[in-house]
Amino acid sequence: MFIIFGYGIVLGAVLISYIAMGGHLGALYQPFEFVLIGGSALGAYIAASNGASVRLLLQAIPKAVRRNPYGKSLYMELMALLYTLLNKARRDGLMAIESDIEDPASSPIFSQYPRVLRDAKLMEFLTDYLRIMISGNMNSFEIETLMDQEIEALHSEHHNPVNAVRAVADALPAFGIVAAVLGVVKALAAVDQPPVVLADLISKAMVGTFLGILLSYGFVAPFASAVERQSVASIKVLECIKVTLLASMNGYPPPLAIEFGRKVLFSSVRPSFTELESHVRQAKSQAAR
């Protein structure tokens, strides 16, 4: 929602200031300037992307305008889930959680944490590495290397659309200049017209430069930053799982293992030690019942 609010401030500040200075909004209404600049930017984005990048961007658009799902409440659920799984595995052996990770949707443990269960990528990462741990054929160093490689691959994949959108944002002022130059060419072709007509044509040409700069710095660049923040948040939750599982594999008890995971979180979403301890104690009592 912040991005929509920010867009409103940008538009309001620009248009209200323009009107206050005596400008007329009708002079800014140049639909073919929008077509020229927007179409060129879209073409440049497609040229700089592939099918996977476009698909990731389309998936990121609704996420950019919604609240970040990776907040403190989700991490509290995730930590409680990890504690419950690791505690059961430590008490009854890793094979005791095999049925839970093979069918999480029907698992009595996972069903207590619906927010975690709804995140397909998070669930895939968690269950895959729990399966590897159950197999017992890899040590913690090998699993850590594998986790790092997967996280790096996901990070690179999610940044492809961000980089392409940023390239478009950098190019938009130039597309605005292209629109302005074409407008000036049109004005020069009408040099035999009265000054009033020439002034109107030149003013319309300048709208192209205005639109290119406004769209670049006021809309497209902030959108790229919003998509990047969502990407970073989706990777951070995987790093939290990674650190927690590795701590467990290295022999730390579940309360300490989830403390390792808590420490890697951003301060804005990191629960305090007391909050997490209280939440885990509640999850422990529910599991006991």
Mind listing the pLDDT tens digit for each residue in 55-72? 888 887 787 777 778 888
pLDDT at 2 over 70: yes
How does pLDDT run across 170-181, given as a tens digit for each residue? Answer: 999 999 998 888
Using CA atoms, how far apart are residues 38 and 33, in angstroms rounded to an integer?
A: 8
Full DSSP string of the chain? -HHHHHHHHHHHHHHHHHHHTT--GGGG--HHHHHHHHHHHHHHHHHT--HHHHHHHHHHHHHHHSPPS-SHHHHHHHHHHHHHHHHHHHHH-GGGGHHHHHSGGG-TTGGG-HHHHH-HHHHHHHHHHHHHHHHT-S-HHHHHHHHHHHHHHHHHHHHHHHHHHHHHHHHHHHHHHHHHHHHHHHHHHTTTS-HHHHHHHHHHHHHHHHHHHHHIIIIIHHHHHHHHHHHHHHHHHHHHHHHHHHHHHTT--HHHHHHHHHHTS-TTTPPPHHHHHHHHHHHHHHHH-
In this prediction, residues 184-190 reach a mean pLDDT of: 81
The answer to whether residue 288 scores a pLDDT higher than 70 is no
Q: Average pLDDT, stretch 116-131?
A: 90
- Provide the pLDDT confidence category of residue 274 given band limits of 50, 70 and 90: confident
- Report the length, in residues, of the chain: 289
Can you give the pLDDT at residue 190?
Answer: 79
pLDDT over threshold 90, residue 147 = yes
Quote the pLDDT of residue 68.
Answer: 78
| Residue 146 pLDDT class (50, 70, 90 cuts) | very high
Q: Is the dihedral of CA 162, 163, 164, 169 positive or negative?
A: positive
Output the average pLDDT for the chain: 86
Percent of the chain with pLDDT over 90: 23
Rounded distance, CA 43 to CA 37, Å? Answer: 10
> pLDDT at residue 244 above 90?
yes
Predicted pLDDT at 123? 92
Give pLDDT, residue 286.
64
pLDDT at position 289 is 58
Instruction: Output the CA angle 262-267-268, nearest 5 degrees.
Output: 115
The predicted pLDDT at position 287 comes to: 58
Q: Mean per-residue pLDDT for 82-107? A: 87
Give pLDDT tens digits for 14-40.
889 888 988 888 778 888 888 889 898
Q: Answer whether 0.85 is exceeded by the pTM.
A: no
2 vs 144, residue with greater confidence: 144
Distance of alpha carbon 233 from alpha carbon 169, whole angstroms:
23
With 90 as the cut, is the pLDDT of residue 189 above it? no
Identify the pLDDT of residue 1: 66
- Please compute the mean of the pLDDT values over residues 154-163 and round it to a whole number: 86
> 48 by DSSP, 3-state: which?
coil
